[in-house]
Amino acid sequence: MSEEKVYTAAIVVIGNEVLSGRVQDLNVNYLALGLKDLGIRLREVRIIPDVKATIVDTVNTLRALHDYVFTTGGIGPTHDDITAESIAAAFDVALERNPRATAMLEQYYGDRINEGRLRMANVPAGGELLDNPVSFAPGFRLHNVYVLPGVPRIMQAMFDTFKHRLAGGRPQRSRTVTAFIGESLVAAGLAAIQDRFADVEIGSYPFVRNERFGCALVSRSVDEASLARATEAIAELVRALGVEPQISDGES
């Protein structure tokens, strides 16, 4: 059997406002779920400040390691929006005023166009515009780096316009065995099951519900047969401890 390509991705959240605690990031979770459906593994997220050298270094590190890098934030018209110029620097290409983005902005603003607004049409040479169905600031793709806005509603809409064009592998499926049992009671048996299934990733997530301890035992795999067998082994482990498990598709 030939080796199957595993597609991987990283996200770079560019945002002083996330690091300062001003806002709760919501983009990572949306992208994580979207990438999972596409068969692309999200391997790493970095939240970094609006500092050009940091953006350049981070993007250059991650684009060499992963099939895809998604950045969020910093593509508006103000002085702290430095993502486009930083990506240009990362790839060592010029930052150019994109004609199509300029035309879109001119159409949107009419005679209210100004230099600040036109700044949003600056795209690194070779960059391909990404459609923005909600507002007007275009995102762009340069090689394997996708530059998206920070506002969640706009980021989500933009991602949804191009995600079907991203190449991915077999999607990782998940099944969950939920049981009202302390996870330390299943720990040894679970470790033994993990050892038997190299192609299944098993995670244990404790919870408290109605003042009862329980755990969600999640299996993840691209192989449906392995996933089914691991899930059944975990359910059996729970039953052997005298507890009736609940089995469901997905991660909860």
Contacts to its own copies by CB under 8 A: 13, 16-26, 28-29, 32-33, 36, 41-50, 76-81, 114-117, 119-120, 151, 172, 174, 183-188, 190-191, 194, 201-206, 218, 220, 251-252
Query: By C-alpha distance, which of 70, 25, 26 is closest to 44?
Result: 70
Smallest distance, its own copies to C-beta of residue 179, A = 13
Residue number with CB closer to its own copies (89 or 105): 105
Smallest distance, its own copies to C-beta of residue 191, A = 4
- Confirm if 158 and 33 have CB atoms less than 8 A apart: no
Smallest distance, its own copies to C-beta of residue 190, A = 6
b/e map of 73-85 (b: 16 or more CB within 10 Å)?
bbbbeeeebbbbb
Residue number with CB closer to its own copies (80 or 128): 80
- Confirm if 139 and 156 have CB atoms less than 8 A apart: no
Residue number with CB closer to its own copies (56 or 142): 56
Smallest distance, its own copies to C-beta of residue 126, A = 26
- Confirm if 70 and 146 have CB atoms less than 8 A apart: yes
Looking at the DSSP bridge assignments, the partners of residue 41 are 8
Residue number with CB closer to its own copies (142 or 237): 237
107 CB burial (10 A radius; 0-12, 13-18, 19+): exposed
Smallest distance, its own copies to C-beta of residue 127, A = 21
